[in-house]
């Protein structure tokens, strides 16, 4: 007669145990629940400023562009950043770490379900004639021992196959807290990827504008050298005609030598800046030579300071999001350690077939099975588990302090970047006035020298002053853009990035 599987004692026991532990598994997770901290922030951009009023520029609360580098209106910079996003070793490394964290989360989440495994085997065996299995024969059948031992010690083949299942019931939320910590680690890795993208973009932009500043100085320097050579030729001709003495020629030769001597250091700086850009973009030295060739593009106007709202900084700054994620993970670790103070229940079950006769293997009579929960209860460990809980609580406090420090550092970097930009912008204004005045002074000195009112020395000094003013302004224009890049980096780039999203 067929047997009803529900009425089998083992099956009923399995269902009862499953129902019991499922109900127990609904217990709340132990340990503190995480609450996202409210970052300290100023009410507006004029608060929390260490710079004097004279160095403060008006700031717009309009949302900055998500692709903030495009505000500089430089197609070559856009192309460089597009190339870096594909080939930068730093970005590839951060992306791989982010992928690892997601796979680790999947590994941790797998603890929530049962582990099921299949096993099968066949082995040739022989019992020992004097082993533990034949010791009982001395007591129950001493007269027939030799005959029984001969039968039991004959070699035989054992066939086995079946499956095993184990399932730890998450009574105290240890697995749930582990998944929570893994999710926080994923958020931290996502923030690290966003930080890498922001760092690469800002470093490339910084080096790019530094390179353009060096190239502008080189262009002005080459024009000054050409003009100095032309003036030298004129002076030498006038000396040969007896109109002037050799002193003016010597002074012009000294000026030409001074200008020519500046070429080599500037070209070395140009090559170093280009190599830094190539390294960040994952390119060998010299690979970007044509792309970074010196050019005098029309200077685009400086964009306005559109920084958004101060409250958005915590959403955009990847380091703040990473610090919050680390605090979240540290909080979840307390629950994991606390759960180890309580008992664990693992529900296990196995079913299979075992036979030493190949013709009987697979028949219902050769089946074997077991089912039931197992309990693990910590009793005494000399305070190791409780010390672990206290250690995790201290780690959480450290993460909270680190979060506060990260927020304060962010606002310090923002203030420093805004102050540096404001100071450079005012210096740039004065350098432009200096350039206009130096140009007027050179024209006046030329007119006086041509009219015989002065010798060549005032004109020579005026040329040196104008040459230096041009180079200083070219460097200042570069520093002004570098300062704006520093501001964008300090506020976390552009756009609004939700926590856990790997940047833009």
pLDDT of residue 495: 63
Domains of the chain, by residue range, sit at 28-112+171-342+384-490, 115-169+345-377
d(CA 432, CA 220): 15
Q: Report the first-to-last Cα separation within the chain, whole angstroms.
A: 69
Q: Residue 232: which of 469, 456, 444, 441 has the closest Cα? A: 456
d(CA 212, CA 74): 11
d(CA 361, CA 370): 19
Count of helix runs (H) and strand runs (E) in the chain: 12, 4
Question: Residue 4: how many CB atoms within 10 A of its CB?
Answer: 8
HSE value, Cβ hemisphere, 13 Å, CA-based, for 347: 19
Q: What is the pLDDT along the chain (504 residues), one digit of tens a residue?
A: 344 444 454 455 445 555 555 555 545 689 999 999 999 888 888 888 888 888 888 888 888 888 999 988 889 999 999 999 988 999 999 999 999 999 999 999 888 888 888 888 888 888 777 777 677 777 676 777 777 777 777 788 888 888 888 888 888 989 999 999 999 999 999 999 999 999 999 999 999 999 999 998 898 889 889 888 888 888 888 788 887 778 888 888 998 999 899 999 999 999 999 999 999 988 899 888 888 886 655 567 788 888 888 988 888 899 999 999 999 999 999 999 999 999 988 888 888 888 887 777 778 888 888 888 888 888 888 889 899 999 999 999 999 999 999 999 999 999 999 999 999 999 999 999 999 999 999 899 888 877 778 766 787 788 888 888 988 998 999 999 999 999 999 999 876 444 443 333
Q: Which residues lie closer than 8 Å to 298 by C-beta, 6 or more apart?
A: none
Q: Environment class of residue 227 by beta-carbon count within 10 Å: exposed (0-12), middle (13-18) or buried (19+)?
A: middle
Q: Residue 283: which of 83, 50, 72, 134 has the closest Cα? A: 83
Q: Residue 491: which of 280, 203, 210, 202 has the closest Cα? A: 202
Q: Residue 173: which of 35, 32, 36, 37 has the closest Cα? A: 32
Is the torsion defined by CA of 398, 401, 407, 413 positive or negative? Answer: negative
Alpha helices in 304-383 (DSSP H): 313-316, 318-339
Is the torsion defined by CA of 243, 244, 246, 250 positive or negative? Answer: negative
The 3-state DSSP class for residue 117 equals strand
Q: Environment class of residue 320 by beta-carbon count within 10 Å: exposed (0-12), middle (13-18) or buried (19+)?
A: buried
DSSP conformational letter for 374: E
Beta bridge partners of 353: 161, 367
Per the CB < 8 A criterion, the answer to whether 90 and 98 are in contact is no
The pTM (predicted TM-score) of the whole model is 0.81
Q: Give 48-52's long-range contacts (Cβ < 8 A, gap of 24+).
A: 48/411, 48/415, 49/415, 49/418, 49/419, 50/415, 50/419, 51/415, 51/418, 51/419, 51/422
CATH superfamily of this structure's domain 115-169+345-377: Outer membrane efflux proteins (OEP) (2.20.200.10)
Question: Residue 2: how many CB atoms within 10 A of its CB?
Answer: 4
Q: Which residues lie closer than 8 Å to 332 by C-beta, 6 or more apart?
A: 31, 34, 177, 178, 180, 181, 184
Residue 63 has phi, psi (to 5 degrees) of -65, 130
- Strand ranges across the sheet with 344-355: 115-125, 156-169, 344-355, 367-376
The 3-state DSSP class for residue 60 equals strand
d(CA 253, CA 467): 16
Per the CB < 8 A criterion, the answer to whether 181 and 105 are in contact is no
DSSP conformational letter for 112: G
Name the CATH code of domain 28-112+171-342+384-490 (choices 3.10.129.10, 2.60.40.180, 3.30.465.10, 1.20.1600.10). Answer: 1.20.1600.10
Q: Residue 498: which of 45, 44, 191, 97 has the closest Cα? A: 191
d(CA 297, CA 318): 34
Q: Tell the residue number behind the tokens 């020395």, with chain if given.
A: 457
Q: Tell the residue number behind the tokens 């450079």, with chain if given.
A: 424
């Amino acid at each position: 007669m067929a047997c009803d599987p529900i009425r089998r004692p083992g099956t009923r026991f399995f269902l009862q145990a499953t129902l019991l532990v499922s109900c127990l598994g609904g217990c709340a997770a132990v340990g503190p629940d995480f609450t996202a901290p409210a970052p300290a922030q100023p009410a507006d951009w004029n608060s929390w400023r260490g710079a004097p009023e004279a160095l403060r520029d008006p700031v717009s609360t309009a949302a900055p562009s998500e692709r903030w580098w495009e505000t500089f209106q430089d197609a070559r910079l856009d192309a460089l950043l597009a190339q870096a996003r594909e080939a930068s070793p730093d970005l590839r490394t951060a992306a791989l770490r982010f992928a690892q964290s997601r796979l680790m989360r999947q590994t941790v989440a797998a603890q929530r379900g049962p582990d099921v495994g299949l096993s099968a085997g066949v082995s040739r065996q022989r019992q020992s004639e004097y082993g533990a299995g034949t010791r009982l024969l001395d007591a129950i059948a001493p007269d027939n021992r030799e005959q029984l031992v001969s039968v039991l010690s004959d070699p035989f083949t054992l066939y086995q196959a079946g499956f095993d299942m184990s399932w730890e019931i998450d009574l105290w939320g240890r697995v749930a807290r582990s998944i929570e910590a893994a999710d926080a680690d994923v958020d931290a890795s996502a923030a690290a990827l966003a930080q890498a993208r922001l760092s690469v973009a800002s470093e490339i932009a910084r080096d790019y504008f530094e390179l353009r500043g060096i190239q502008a100085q080189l262009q002005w320097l080459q024009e000054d050298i050409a003009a100095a050579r032309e003036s030298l030729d004129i002076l030498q001709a006038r000396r040969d005609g007896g109109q002037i003495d050799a002193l003016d020629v010597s002074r012009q030769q000294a000026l030409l030598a001074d200008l020519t001597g500046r070429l080599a250091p500037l070209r070395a700086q140009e090559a170093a800046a280009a190599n830094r850009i190539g390294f960040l973009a994952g390119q060998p030295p010299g690979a970007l030579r044509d792309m970074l060739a010196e050019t005098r593009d029309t200077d685009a106007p400086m964009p306005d300071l559109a920084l958004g709202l101060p409250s958005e900084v915590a959403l955009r700054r990847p380091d703040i999001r990473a610090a919050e994620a680390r605090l979240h993970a540290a909080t979840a670790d307390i629950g994991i350690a606390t759960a180890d103070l309580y008992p664990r229940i693992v529900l296990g079950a196995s079913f299979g077939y075992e036979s030493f006769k190949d013709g009987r293997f697979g028949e219902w009579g050769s089946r074997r099975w077991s089912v039931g929960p197992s309990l693990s209860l910590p009793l005494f460990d000399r305070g190791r588990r409780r010390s672990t809980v206290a250690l995790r609580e201290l780690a959480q406090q450290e993460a909270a302090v680190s979060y506060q420090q990260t927020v304060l550092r962010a606002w310090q970097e923002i203030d420093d970047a805004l102050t540096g930009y404001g100071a450079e912008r005012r210096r740039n204004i004065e350098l432009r006035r200096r350039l206009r005045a130096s140009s007027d002074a050179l024209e006046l000195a030329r007119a006086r020298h041509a009219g015989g009112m002065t010798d060549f020395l005032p004109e020579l000094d005026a040329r040196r002053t104008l040459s230096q003013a041009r180079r200083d302004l070219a460097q200042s224009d570069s520093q002004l853009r570098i300062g704006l890049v520093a501001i964008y980096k300090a506020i976390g780039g552009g756009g609004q990035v939700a926590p856990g999203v790997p940047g833009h």
